[in-house]
Amino acid sequence: MPAILQDKETNPFESMMSRFDAAAERLKLDPGLYQILRVPDREITVSIPVMMDSGRLQVFIGYRVQHNLARGPCKGGIRFAPTVTLDEVRALAAWMTWKCAIVNIPFGGAKGGVICDPSKLSNSEIEKITRRYTAMLMDVLGPERDVPAPDMNTNEQVMAWVMDTYSMHQRHTVTGVVTGKPIELGGSRGRHDATGRGIMICCNQAIKRLGLTREQTRVAVQGFGNVGSTAARLMQEGGYRIVGLSDINGGILSPDGIRVSEAIAYYKEKRTLAGLPGTRSCSNAELLETDCDILVPAATENQITSHNAGRLKCKILCEGANGPTTAAADDIVEAKKIFIIPDILANAGGVTVSYFEWVQDRQGYFWTENTVNSELERIMIESFEAVVSYADLHHVNMRIASYMLAVDRVASTTRLRGIYA
Ligand code: NAD
């Protein structure tokens, strides 16, 4: 959808900016720093010509936005989707800056995207898009400059192609240029599950605050990709009851609990969740409004808006996706006293283990999965508690507290570095 056709509520950049503005105002952020942090450092648009399998040439549009590199090299995923817009990539890049600051890892924020529909492309066409996109960004990517990772519709194989293309141009193997790679190519143990695991760790902390036990806690998860299916699986293994799951085509509900490993096996075979024995089908709208204790939107942006927020029944909203709740829905969610674990905290487990992967690549020494998982747990708990303390100290909700903490950290680094002129 072109940016101009998106209304103000569903424009992800507007959504991000209105929270940033609220945090900046409460922090009494210096007007000069405000000007620096509200705009991306650099935006690049590339035209990617690809010889399709049919022999026809097609040009795809790709973006890379580097929002801020005050705290270190830029870090952020690459998304392949027909709905990619420059405003979406801008918002996602800024969210990466805030997210890396919340978990206190030495990265700035970036994001990339290519407007394409991978479901209509062959593997070889996806590989060509990936390699040409990487080649066109040779001067801006690099372990010390900008380090991509997977996002919607990109995976370990796509990251392997980015690494190989970059390495071919450098004339030596550079594993640290991307994260989320296959383990054989310098990937990290635990990276695949990291975002879902981080979501579970945040939920563990949140239910303690609300006086709930895992066994009492019913969870509905929207999105059955990397983030959603992993969060659901790990949470069930951890004792939670999973009462709803969905993908883009709709969902399934079962108040008695869905066995997630069975749902994963069923989905692998049938490519749909509909019809899983012991469940009934529902729409995505119904799933979001279902009776549950924790709702995990882990699909895409703008799922909880001013139109449906009033009908949410969850006690905790844990945002697995980036930007699943619009800024206009925030007040409604707050009025309903729903405890929100904002995206820039809830899904930061992914970039945290990406950081571990980058560290391991640079050291050439690889950690055990136990080390990765326990370091991830330490960082997620510290970050969750830091946001809670900020919320208590400043009498703001978790959303604004998370932005305040992040903006404060990035502003302080910028102040210390000074302005090069
Ligand atoms: P994915 O492509 O693996 O899965 C996306 C899932 O969402 C699929 O099941 C798809 O069917 C579903 N979906 C897409 N559009 C939908 C819609 N309109 N309604 C309902 N379901 C829909 O992607 P992913 O890596 O799991 O990422 C999901 C979200 O999490 C994105 O917002 C992404 O930016 C964010 N995220 C991902 C990571 C990561 O490590 N992969 C880290 C942080 C944040």
Whole-angstrom distance, CA of residue 356 vs CA of residue 54: 41
Residue 1 has pLDDT above 50, yes or no: no
HSE-CB for 173 with a 13 A CA cutoff:
7
pLDDT digits (tens, 9 = 90+) for 383-404: 999 999 999 999 999 999 999 9
Contacts of 101 (CB under 8 A, 6+ apart): 71, 405, 406, 407, 409, 410
Asked if residue 420 belongs to a domain, the reply is: no
Asked if residue 419 belongs to a domain, the reply is: no
The residue contributing the CA closest to ligand 1 atom 33 is 321
Asked if residue 52 belongs to a domain, the reply is: yes
> Of the listed 99, 111, 181, 315, which one is catalytic?
111
Region 235-260: mean pLDDT is 98
End position of a domain, from candidates 289, 316, 346: 346
pLDDT at 7: 80
Ligand 1 atom showing the smallest separation from residue 223 Cα: 7
In this structure, the answer to whether residues 93 and 222 fall within a common structural domain is no
Pocket test for ligand 1, best of 247, 249, 288, 354 (most atoms within 8 A of CB): 247
CATH number at residue 100: 3.40.50.10860
Asked if residue 35 belongs to a domain, the reply is: no
- Percent of the chain past pLDDT 90, that is, above it, reads 97
Residue 4 has pLDDT above 50, yes or no: no
Distance of CA 174 from the midpoint of ligand 1 (Å): 28
Q: Are strands 42-51 and 280-282 parallel, antiparallel or unpaired?
A: unpaired
In this structure, the answer to whether residues 265 and 339 fall within a common structural domain is yes
**Ligand 1 lining (C-beta closer than 6 Å):** 150-153, 195, 222-228, 246-248, 284, 298-300, 320-322, 347, 350
End position of a domain, from candidates 143, 173, 203: 173
Q: Would you call 111 a catalytic residue per the annotation?
A: yes
Which sign, positive or negative, has the C-alpha torsion 348, 384, 235, 320?
negative
Residue 2 has pLDDT above 50, yes or no: no
End position of a domain, from candidates 312, 346, 380: 346
Contacts of 384 (CB under 8 A, 6+ apart): 201, 202, 205, 206, 341, 345
Residue 184 has pLDDT above 90, yes or no: yes
Structural domain tally of the chain? Answer: 2
In this structure, the answer to whether residues 159 and 205 fall within a common structural domain is no
In this structure, the answer to whether residues 243 and 316 fall within a common structural domain is yes
Pocket test for ligand 1, best of 152, 287, 318 (most atoms within 8 A of CB): 152
- Structural domain range at position 117: 41-173
Asked if residue 309 belongs to a domain, the reply is: yes
Region 157-161: mean pLDDT is 98
Averaged confidence pLDDT in the chain: 96
CATH number at residue 212: 3.40.50.720
Asked if residue 318 belongs to a domain, the reply is: yes
Q: How confident is the model at residue 421 (pLDDT cuts 50, 70, 90)?
A: confident
pTM of the model: 0.96
Region 102-129: mean pLDDT is 98
Distance of CA 227 from the midpoint of ligand 1 (Å): 6
In this structure, the answer to whether residues 206 and 116 fall within a common structural domain is no
pLDDT digits (tens, 9 = 90+) for 304-317: 999 999 999 999 99
pLDDT digits (tens, 9 = 90+) for 164-177: 999 999 999 999 99
In this structure, the answer to whether residues 206 and 126 fall within a common structural domain is no
8 A C-beta contact, residue 249 and residue 265: no
The residue contributing the CA closest to ligand 1 atom 8 is 225
3-state secondary structure of 417: helix
In this structure, the answer to whether residues 241 and 292 fall within a common structural domain is yes
Asked if residue 367 belongs to a domain, the reply is: no
Asked if residue 7 belongs to a domain, the reply is: no
pLDDT digits (tens, 9 = 90+) for 212-229: 999 999 999 999 999 999
In this structure, the answer to whether residues 93 and 169 fall within a common structural domain is yes
In this structure, the answer to whether residues 56 and 161 fall within a common structural domain is yes
In this structure, the answer to whether residues 138 and 227 fall within a common structural domain is no
Residue 343 has pLDDT above 70, yes or no: yes
In this structure, the answer to whether residues 206 and 324 fall within a common structural domain is yes
In this structure, the answer to whether residues 205 and 341 fall within a common structural domain is yes
Region 235-258: mean pLDDT is 98
